[in-house]
Amino acid sequence: MVFLSKYSNRVYFLNRKGELYKKLDFSKYSLNYIELCSPIIYDRNQLYIGISRYNIDFPEKAKISDYLEEYKNKNYFPLIFVEKSCFDSTSDVNLKMNAFYKRFVQDDAMTFENLKFAKSSKFFCFSSVFSDSVYVFDKEFQLVKSARINSDISKINSKPISILTYLKNRDKLSENIRGSSFISDFKYDSFRNTFVCLIRDKMDGDLIPFSIMILDENLEKIAEKKFDSHSYYDVFYISKDGLFIEKKNPIKRFSRTFSKFIYE
């Protein structure tokens, strides 16, 4: 198991007994305003981590020109992807992922979200809440193809608001997400050589309607199912025994229950 200590830029490795057997310290990169962030994958002795840059001199009362300049310099809300070997040098740690958003949003878009990627034995898949497609990169981080997620249940339609709209009304950021359908999570199931895509629909009051799609190794759809948001949370985990979805349990609030997703 691999864990990331938030704000400290330290990565911890635990064995099956939960005992610490290795620690990697990247705290020196905090001096360069680089912060490690999820997701994190350890595979074949390689560590893949998301990073973000932050600017301590960013104006408290920022103007649209300040935001655009930060985007240009890849500082403000960047979604950068790195692997451990990149930390051997501080010259370039972004692995050619700078133009990711240019494929589906405008330059003045407020692309604020968590980085999501899945790694199979062949390639990396990146997804965004602002796109209806998954983007496939090879091991050199060159774009190979994009695959559209064709849901029969939800119309994926999320688009980012502009920076100007955000500056006029900062509540628009959350309102936009609450009223949209989007790819919320995308993971690789190494036990069955499939991909799991969670699609969130627009919110129904305080409920989060969602469906889960299973795709094969070529990103072709195998199955899709809508879950009752009164009975299930939009949370899942993958194990050798299958794919499990968290059930709501109003009686036992301090315990978590999961139900196996049968799709074959």
Residue 39, preceding bond cis, omega within 30 degrees? Answer: yes
> Residue 27: pLDDT above 80?
yes
Most confident of 3-12, 29-38, 238-247: 238-247
What per-residue confidence (pLDDT) applies to 228? 95
What per-residue confidence (pLDDT) applies to 98? 52
What per-residue confidence (pLDDT) applies to 76? 41
Q: Which residues have CB under 8 Å from 262's CB, separation 6+?
A: 242
Higher pLDDT, 228 or 110: 228
Q: Which residues have CB under 8 Å from 174's CB, separation 6+?
A: none
Higher pLDDT, 39 or 143: 143
Report pTM. Answer: 0.80
> Residue 202: pLDDT above 60?
yes
Phi, psi of 174 (to 5 degrees): -75, -35
pLDDT in tens, 219-251: 999 999 999 999 999 999 999 999 999 999 877
Confidence of residue 207 (pLDDT cuts 50, 70, 90): very high
pLDDT in tens, 85-105: 545 544 344 444 556 677 787
What per-residue confidence (pLDDT) applies to 116? 78
Q: Which residue, among 93, 92, 8, 99, has the nearest Cα to 47 in the 3D structure? A: 93
> Residue 168: pLDDT above 80?
yes
Higher pLDDT, 133 or 74: 133
